[in-house]
Amino acid sequence: MKRSLLSSLLLASVLATPAFAALNEGDKAPEFSAQASLAGKAFNYSFRDALKKGPVVVYFYPSAFTGGCNLQAHTFAENIDKFSAAGATVIGVSLDSIKRLNAFSADPQYCASKVAVASDPDGKIAKSFNLAVADVPAGRKDTRGEDIDHGRVDRVTFVVKPDGQVAATIGGVAPVENVEKALETVTRLASARR
């Protein structure tokens, strides 16, 4: 009886653990390019080019125009000057279409024309960072009442040093804390460079 109960509790704790098996600190981040949007305008984003300027915060999020993702984008936008002061750039990545991201990036309540967001419609970029792509149940709506017609990834942020090594992997925390931890990491990296 005790063994059965212990086995059940162990199984329950494993199932309750966050399900991301992302790249870890010290791993080499994969290079990628994607169609992205800033201030409602699409452009071609190159991770390689961004790394030439300094550390890059690559934050993956489930979907534009959803509660936690709206809050996270807004928090990044509010703090973008602090990231820039630490020499870092920020790029959000989701499986949203570029059309949805054009609206999201320009919306003053969310990205506020300050945070670039990249479209990863087939999940290829997410998978290259060892993130699982999942289907969204049919009938799910965003905060605007529109259908969410794409897959999703967990909210995981990577801070990548200019040499391409992952300095931090941040997952399993609330949206605001995710941004705060990313800012702490880039601030620490900036201090180490001085």
Amino acid at 191: S
Cα dihedral 97→75→79→27 (10° resolution): -60
Residue in 22, 51, 69, 170 annotated catalytic: 69
In Å, what is the CA distance from 34 to each residue of 31, 62, 64, 160? Answer: 10, 17, 17, 17
Q: Can 111 be counted among the known catalytic residues? A: no
Q: Sign of the C-alpha dihedral, residues 116, 18, 29, 95? A: negative
* Phi, then psi, of 179 in degrees rounded to 5: -65, -45
In Å, what is the CA distance from 127 to each residue of 78, 107, 113, 175? Answer: 29, 28, 27, 21
Angle at 116 between CA 112 and CA 119, to 5 degrees: 120
What's the chain's Rg over C-alpha atoms? 17
Residues with a catalytic annotation lie at 69
